[in-house]
Amino acid sequence: MAHSFEIFFTGRDDPRNGCIVIGEDTKPVFFEFETQYLSPSSTRTTISSNRNPVAALHWINGGLGVATIGDREIPMAHLVQQGSSTSARRFPSADGRHYEWRKCHADPRSYELFSGPNTRIAKFQKLSQATPIGPSHGTLQYSFSHDLLLLEALITLNLNRWLDWTG
């Protein structure tokens, strides 16, 4: 993959709460993941872009519930379906295609996004580094310019990270 863009994961190193994704592709990119505990059995993560809500993850009893991405509702379990191997999870995009996050064998905290069996379009690397915008705990390099796919990729990446983090 010849990447075209790179964005940085800053804020808290928690894929559900306090994570900020910032950078620039064809325009500035700014996403926030904020989680509110509504009741003992209900939690909601709101994903905002440029301070405007664009998606929400509704967690039920501490587990996967329903995702609302734009005007589309989808069970979160559909966003982390078994992929082509035990270290891969796929998701259906609003564009009608399926994409797959695969854990990197050399670093299981890193992931690659594929749009086909051998077409890598993004790579998330978990690493701490100083950046022009402050300390970062991860980067996403990607080779597409599609706002909705970027949102879906970030949501599903953070779902994968959360599932792998919580076991």
Q: pTM value?
A: 0.94
Query: What DSSP letter does each residue of 61-111 carry, written as one string?
Result: TTEEEEEEETTEEEEGGGGGEE-SSTTEEEEE-TTS-EEEEEE-SS-TT-E
pLDDT of residue 1: 54
> Alpha-carbon distance 142 to 101, whole Å?
13
Residue 6's contacts (CB-CB under 8 Å, 6 or more residues apart) are 23, 139, 140, 141, 142
Per-residue pLDDT of the chain (167 residues; tens, 9 = 90+): 566 899 999 999 999 999 999 999 999 999 999 999 988 888 999 999 999 999 999 999 889 999 999 999 999 999 999 999 999 999 999 999 999 999 998 998 999 999 988 999 999 999 999 887 789 999 999 999 999 999 999 999 999 999 998 87
pLDDT of residue 55: 98
How far, in Å, are 27, 34, 91, 124 from residue 22 at the CA level? 11, 15, 23, 14
